[in-house]
Amino acid sequence: MKRLKNCSLPLCSTGRREFVQRLKLEATLNVHDGCVNTISWNDTGEYILSGSDDTFLVITNPYNKKVKKSIRSGHRANIFSAKFMPHTNDQEIISCSGDGIIYYTHTEKSPEYNRQCQFTCHYGTAYEIMTVPNDPYTFLSCGEDGTVRWFDLRTKTSCTKEDCKDDILINCRRAATSISISPLVPYYLAVGCSDSSVRIYDRRMLGTRATGNYMGRGTTGMCVRFVPAHLSNKSCRVTSLCYSEDGQEVLVSYSSDYIYLFDPKDDQARELKGPSEERREELRQPPVKRLRLRGDWSDTGPRARPESERERDGEQSPNVSLMQRMSDMLSRWFEEASEAQSSRGTRPQTRPRGEASSPVAAAAMPKSTSSSSSGSSSTVTAPPPSSSASVESSAPSSSPLTSSPDSEQRSQDTTTTGTPTPTATPTSEPALSEPVLSLHYSSEGTTTSTIKLDFTDECMRLCLFVVRLKFTCWFLLFVRRSAAARIQELFRRRKERREMEESETQNIRRPSVKMVYKGHRNSRTMIKESCFWGKNFVMSGSDCGHIFIWDRHTAEHLMLLEADNHVVNCLQPHPYDPILASSGIDYDIKIWSPLEESSSFDRVLADEVITRNELMLEETRNTITVPASFMLRMLASLNHIRSDRLEGDRSEGSGQENED
């Protein structure tokens, strides 16, 4: 591969469609043993930095295909983002991974030294690293924990503090999945979140606890908030953000949706409309999620086809992977179980008879019993007289303690200590009938409260059991009310926070959609990039294994390149030359150059791929990916449910009650 500065195609022609329609695969760099999730050029365009599921960072010369440096990083999960620090002679690298750890790697230092330079501040996945133009000391990161963090290597090169909040710049309170810095005005920071919003902040108004000026509110410094109207009531994740070269426009790609262009200076967006009646119904009754096994890429790549098309052509199961068949079977079982549960919703459900001996109940019961000094009464250790406990304890003191109305709960076989107790029934002998007790609450001279029970020894066990059962029922009721109150308080605070955020952001700019780019499919991965190429083109990877290129100003499809056997995730144009690097699920990096002698674009094939992508995008909107262990457990559980249902049907047919 030769440097294309001397290519016969002049650089000024990169703004013409003939340029992208002459692109051809020139080189393949086989430098990883896993999916390549991040690629970036150095400032001079001589090297490519890549990170992979194999947890290696590799610096490659794409012109001679030689590896300059292969670094075993300290990451224990898939590397999702890696960047050269500016003005460090390509010797300093920042990277992040699925375990949330950030590593600061110096290519000339020992592995032992580099492993110590880690930041464990994020919890959950760290999605992206962003360096600041011309700044060799600071960088930003974002992650699933909803925080955007700002680190200064002059103050520290590692941080392993538990639950560290020192470097939080913005707390978005929802997953922050992508960030981008304006190339010309680097204090403007765009943040893409899982709530369909792109927020742009002025970093001059922000700070961290480490710098002593942290504001702690997600609205401080916000000057722009962009949401496509139809996504305003949906949670649609942003998978990539990209500023144009002049910083005048921002390109944002959404998971399970399309790519949008907006102007941050625009403030002409119409009022965000509420969901339609159909959408409200959808929100009230969410669809049953289809399940897909992790590692099943059968619906990706150039040869993938929609289910409707396969059914139309009569394709049978041999053309579908084993994982997909398992997923379909599990989905059907889940739907059957849901339907069966719904149909039995009006039938009475039998409660397990051992309920009072459950772990929750056991934890709620009194800890010990003992005889008083006079020997004429017994004491039951109870919780300290605080809040509702004192009210519930003292209230019965002036009234007799009657039997529980729940005869089933009252007829337990054992107490928490395992001592057998008589069963209280209407035909019990007088000596075993439930007595009337007088409760006296006292805390004089003791560290714990006591309840004195005056009764004869003959009824002691039964009475103790009734008191314990009463106390357990009260405790469970109190816990239930307390939990409900906490949930209500949580929702109240969230509502107040949302209302406050809305009121505080009334004056920020709300740009409208300037252009929409469709045809690709972005639903399988969370790191799918879209980007500008020069002034006239927009590009994106796709689940169909193709690279899509559009006219930036008209959204017309200009080129389609088959680039991966499954998914294209990353696209990075060369900083100067007409060269494009791509990567994805395949274990390699591909280099594209305008080497075809004449321009060509198979529009018929492109239309076919676009139609399939649109159909498959709809098919996968309600599909979630789960690990194999989850599938195995679910299969076992559903099999158990089916067995119990069959056993119950047989029991009902024979006049017996199914206790389970």
What's the CA gap between 340 and 345, in Å, rounded?
A: 9
For residues 446 and 590, the model is more confident at 590
Task: Write down the pLDDT at residue 288.
Answer: 56
Out of 159-168, 275-284, 540-549, 576-585, pick the least confident: 275-284
pLDDT, position 214: 85
The tens digit of pLDDT for each residue in 8-22 reads: 444 445 568 889 999
* Whole-number Å distance between alpha carbons of 259 and 290: 25
Closest CA to 169 of 183, 151, 187, 144: 151
Report the alpha-carbon distance of residue 460 to residue 167 in Å, rounded. Answer: 62
Contacts of 532 (CB under 8 A, 6+ apart): 242, 244, 245, 251, 538, 539, 552
CB atoms within 10 A of CB 169: 23
User: Which position has the higher pLDDT, 33 or 413?
Assistant: 33
What is the share, in percent, of the chain residues with pLDDT greater than 70?
A: 66
370 confidence band (pLDDT: 50, 70, 90): very low
The Cα-based distances of 595 to 108, 166, 187 in angstroms read 37, 51, 39
161-174 pLDDT per residue, tens: 988 999 999 999 89
pLDDT of residue 337: 66
Confidence class for position 155, pLDDT limits 50, 70, 90: very high
Q: Minimum mean pLDDT among 205-214, 365-374, 616-625: which range?
A: 365-374
- Smallest CA-to-CA distance from 310 within 322, 298, 292 is with 298
pLDDT of 8: 42
pLDDT at 106 over 50: yes
| DSSP single-letter state for residue 36 | E
pLDDT number for residue 209 = 93
Residue pLDDT, tens place only, 244-291: 999 999 999 999 999 999 999 998 764 444 444 554 444 444 555 667
Between β-strands 290-293 and 369-371, what pairing exists: parallel, antiparallel or unpaired?
A: unpaired
pLDDT at 204: 93
Q: Check whether 177 has a pLDDT greater than 50.
A: yes
pLDDT confidence of residue 14: 56
481 has a pLDDT exceeding 50 = yes
Name the residue type at position 326.
M
Element (H, E) at 571: strand 568-573
Q: Is the pLDDT of residue 422 over 50?
A: no
pLDDT digit string (tens) for 193-207? 999 999 999 999 999
Look up residue 400 and give its amino acid.
Answer: P
Higher-pLDDT residue of 414 and 577 is 577
170 vs 185: CA distance, rounded Å: 19
Q: What per-residue confidence (pLDDT) applies to 317?
A: 44
Residues 110-128, mean pLDDT to the nearest whole number: 94
What are the CB-based long-range contacts (under 8 Å, 24+) for 360-366?
360/476, 360/479, 361/416, 361/472, 361/476, 362/416, 364/471, 364/472, 364/475, 364/476, 364/479, 365/416, 365/468, 365/471, 365/472, 366/468, 366/471
Confidence at residue 119, expressed as pLDDT on a 0 to 100 scale: 97
Instruction: Say which amino acid occupies 134.
Output: N
Tell me the pLDDT tens digit for each residue of 202-248: 999 999 999 888 877 668 899 999 999 999 888 899 999 999 999 99
SS3 content of the chain, % helix, strand, coil (to 5): 25, 25, 45
Q: How far apart are CA 113 and CA 178, in angstroms?
A: 29
- pTM summary value: 0.71
- 1 pLDDT band (50/70/90 cuts)? low
Query: Who contacts 10 (Cβ-Cβ below 8 Å, separation ≥6)?
Result: none
499 has a pLDDT exceeding 90: no
Tokens, residue 300: 């990706």
**pLDDT tens readout for residues 38-77:** 999 999 999 999 999 999 999 999 999 999 999 999 999 9
Give the tens place of pLDDT for each residue, 294-312. Answer: 777 888 999 888 877 777 7
Is residue 183 pLDDT above 60, yes or no? yes
Q: Mean pLDDT of all residues in the chain?
A: 77
Sheet of 56-61: strands edge to edge? 36-41, 48-52, 56-61, 66-72
Q: Say which residue, 461 or 200, is predicted with more confidence.
A: 200
Hey, what domains does the chain have and what are their CATH numbers? Answer: 29-272+507-621 (2.130.10.10)
**Percent of the chain at pLDDT above 90?**
50
pLDDT per residue as tens digits for the range 323-344: 566 666 666 666 666 666 666 6
Task: Identify the pLDDT of residue 636.
Answer: 78
